[in-house]
Amino acid sequence: MVKVLIVEDEASIREMIALNLRMAGMEALEAASAEEALALLEQQPGCSAAILDVMLPGMNGFSLCETIRRTDQQIGIIILSAKGQEQDKIRGLSIGADDYMTKPFSVSELLARVGALCRRVGRTAPAQEPEENPTVLVSGEFVLDQNRRVLLKRGQPIELTQVEFQIMELFFRNPGTALVREKILKGVWGENYFGDVKIVDVNIRRLRMKVEDEPSHPAHILTVWGYGYRWEE
């Protein structure tokens, strides 16, 4: 069963989210603080996704997101906040969140986003892949191992979130091709994603910090101005 952690200090909101997740067939873990959430993650590992409120007592949601990401690149993270300012969204995505929602929010939309995240996290390669669909993609000095969900650069592993891994997979399958932002958004977040296309730009910036020798002068993830991005070996 898919397991989702909800970190929200307002009991009514937390319980409402948990109830709807359970009605959708998921297991919901509830925490009222970041400290309680970290203890739960240690006691019950294997969460597919986490919904983190920003305004928490003690450690806030942004710091909690950063703490989780230090040890877990696979879990899907949604930041949930009453703040709608652009800089807050960018901050949340830049530190490792996969998605951002602003209160008040639609429960059905939240469930759709959780479901999309969990499907990405739960993706596994079949036991036997046909030869025309290899489990290892190679591009210059980079190797993308789809079975192990690992990106290697010159033989050294680079830790990627599930969203980052899927963007790289899209690039590797379309080398030298300019991909419009909307195509990346649909290819990674799904056809029915409700969020802002700017989430693509934030994840590209994060990826450049990980894969480029000089992120300010990228040699691989190139910007196609007014359009999107292109991958070059």
The per-residue pLDDT for range 72-113, each reduced to its tens digit, is 888 999 998 876 677 778 888 888 899 988 887 888 888 888
Segment holding 128, helix H or strand E? none
- pLDDT band at 153; cut points 50, 70, 90: very high
Segment holding 27, helix H or strand E? strand 27-31
For residues 132 and 11, what is the distance between their CA atoms, to the nearest angstrom?
A: 51
Range(s) within the chain of domains with CATH label 3.40.50.2300: 3-121
The SS3 assignment for 33 reads coil
β-bridge pairing 228-231 and 136-139: unpaired
For residues 100 and 193, what is the distance between their CA atoms, to the nearest angstrom?
A: 12
Radius of gyration of the chain (CA): 18
What's residue 130's pLDDT? 41
For residues 66 and 31, what is the distance between their CA atoms, to the nearest angstrom?
A: 17
Q: Which of 88, 35, 29 is CA-nearest to residue 62? A: 88
The CATH code of domain 3-121 reads 3.40.50.2300
Question: Structurally, what CATH architecture does the domain formed by 136-231 represent?
Answer: Orthogonal Bundle (1.10)
Average pLDDT value over all residues in the chain? 87
User: Which token pair is 24?
Assistant: 């959708």
Contacts by 122-127, CB closer than 8 A, 24 or more apart: 122/2, 122/48, 123/162
User: Which token pair is 118?
Assistant: 């969990």
pTM to 2 decimal places: 0.74
Q: Is the pLDDT of residue 124 over 60?
A: no
- Looking at the chain, the whole-number percentage of residues with pLDDT higher than 90 is 51
User: Which token pair is 80?
Assistant: 């949930």
Q: Are 113 and 106 in contact (CB under 8 A)?
A: no
User: Which token pair is 105?
Assistant: 């929010």
For residues 172 and 165, what is the distance between their CA atoms, to the nearest angstrom?
A: 10
The SS3 assignment for 142 reads strand
β-bridge pairing 221-224 and 142-145: unpaired
Range(s) within the chain of domains with CATH label 1.10.10.10: 136-231
